[in-house]
Structure 1
Amino acid sequence: MEKTNDSMLTEFVLVGLSAHPQLQTAFFVLILWTYLMILLGNGVLISVIIYDSHLHTPMYFFLCNLSFLDICYTSSSVPLILDSFLTIRKKVSFSGCMMQMFLSFATGVTECVLLGMMALDRYVAICYPLRYPVIMSKGAYVTMAAGSWVTGLLDSVVQASLAMQLPFCANNVINHFVCEILAILKLACTDISINVISMAVSNLIVLVFPLLIISISYIFIVATILRIPSSEGKRKAFSTCSAHLTVVIIFYGTTFFMYAKPKSKTSVGPDNQDIIETLISLFYGVMTPMLNPLIYSLRNKDVKVAVKNMLCRKSFSDEM
């Protein structure tokens, strides 16, 4: 343990899987490959949406924001994760740790809110198709996306500011791959009731409330789809929502496991619970952003056609 005190704390030590060195090489290769797939998949999806004018709609605007968020989220943490696998004890400066925590938390919160906005978009598209262009005007959907980003940044400012004011005394060893806020709160040598209350309020606003919006939206969506007389119409209507619903289930499943119940300070020694939470966090941090573009691409005919058209035009240009 690095000896320091609350007034002289200048760095943290990331533990990660140092107690399981046999897993580090395998995880390094897996995460590096996953990160490259995240950059490629989300980058292609953003390029296709920008390139094809047929995809300049509210749904794809939100999807473009989601892909950009996934790139930002993983880029704020994955390089640190990869570096931690290369050294037994990875030291991170206090300011660097707080900055990484701020960026990861901000993008994570933004994604929670954005998924709620995307559910509202699908609700209007299915339940009020004739009024959809009027309700979801450019001003409306741009404001909804901007509101998601602002909410994420403001919430992260609050949580990071409270965490930065905590005294950490002699304990600066984080049982995690990255500077994750719950792992940092465990290290404080003071009462963290304010932080726990703040996290609970944050969870209510950015986890429970968006999930409530998503649930209510899909109740109305399903009710509307069931009233469609033809089976083909039902299939087409549901296909416009299935990708979003799949992403919501994966994202919220892992997020609720990590953040639904803010944990108070516990022992710093790595135990089975720490390892399980770390691996779940790893899945939440890298696997979900990799799956998102695959889910939207494989289940969306318009995206597949746009990718094919872009590749064909690029091949034609190269031949010229």
Structure 2
Amino acid sequence: MKQIIFITLFSFFILGCKEKKPKSDKFHIVTTTSMITDLVQNIGGDKVVVQGLMGAGVDPHLYKASEGDVSKLFNADMILYGGLHLEGKLVEVFEKMQKQNIKTVAVSDALDKKDLIGSTLFASNYDPHIWFDITNWEKITVFVADQLSAARPEYKTVFQANAQEYLKKLKTLREEVEAEIATLPLDKRRLVTAHDAFSYFGRAYQFEVVGLQGLSTATEAGVQDVQKTASYIIDHKVKAVFIESSVPKRTVEALQAAVNSKNHKVMIGGTLFSDALGNPGTAEGTYIGMFKFNVHTIVNALK
């Protein structure tokens, strides 16, 4: 109901306004997920004002825009979102904005279809959790820098320089992550999480990934899902399962109880950041800090 109200208000707002706010020196950008917000802040630096719609712990699959988001979106110079139906409830809104010549950019457009993991269980037919492969994020960094440069060519030198600095940091992150994961034997690389958000991570680092729920959190795991995953844990002697910061922990706790009831002990290895970063001002509130935290948590729990 709130989403219907939002779309109605958005349409009314567009029809009632003849022109947007006057252009300022600052480049005003609205982003959806916290990963994209962090990326744009790194590339844009002091030349941009970034407003993120989704904060720490917010699930983009279920996000419903509020009436207060109307002016943010309408007055933005550019809107950057994940795409591939990650922000399922906002797709209609973005389509309406495009028809009104409001610049909206899906960061997933940076990737070739061959880089994507297919899924017939998701609306886009592709897994939208593309940030869990650092090489994807490097390509997206270049893409976003080019999009910002095209929109504000007077800042192109700044955007491109910032992007190059950030790419260096991502390269260092890749090397650190690979070194830490290398300490975990291949037969222990079995990652069981609340929902299926880590397939790109699994492909990049040779983990077998099992999500209790599917790619989206719109539907909850049922009894059969819990029992099937419990059998997998027992059969493969998995030591730990993981909660996610943006998904209620009750399903993973039910899974743990199901395993324990069959005389096999499995611990909860910690909370991973999946569809959102940590709190602003913390290490986990950045993409790089989040990735390091997740890898350290996974490796320590599964060793």
- Per the TM superposition, whether the score is higher than 0.5 is no
Higher strand share: 2
The higher relative CO (CA closer than 8 Å, separation ≥ 6) is in 1
Larger Rg: 1
Higher helix share: 1
Length-normalised TM-score, structure 1: 0.24
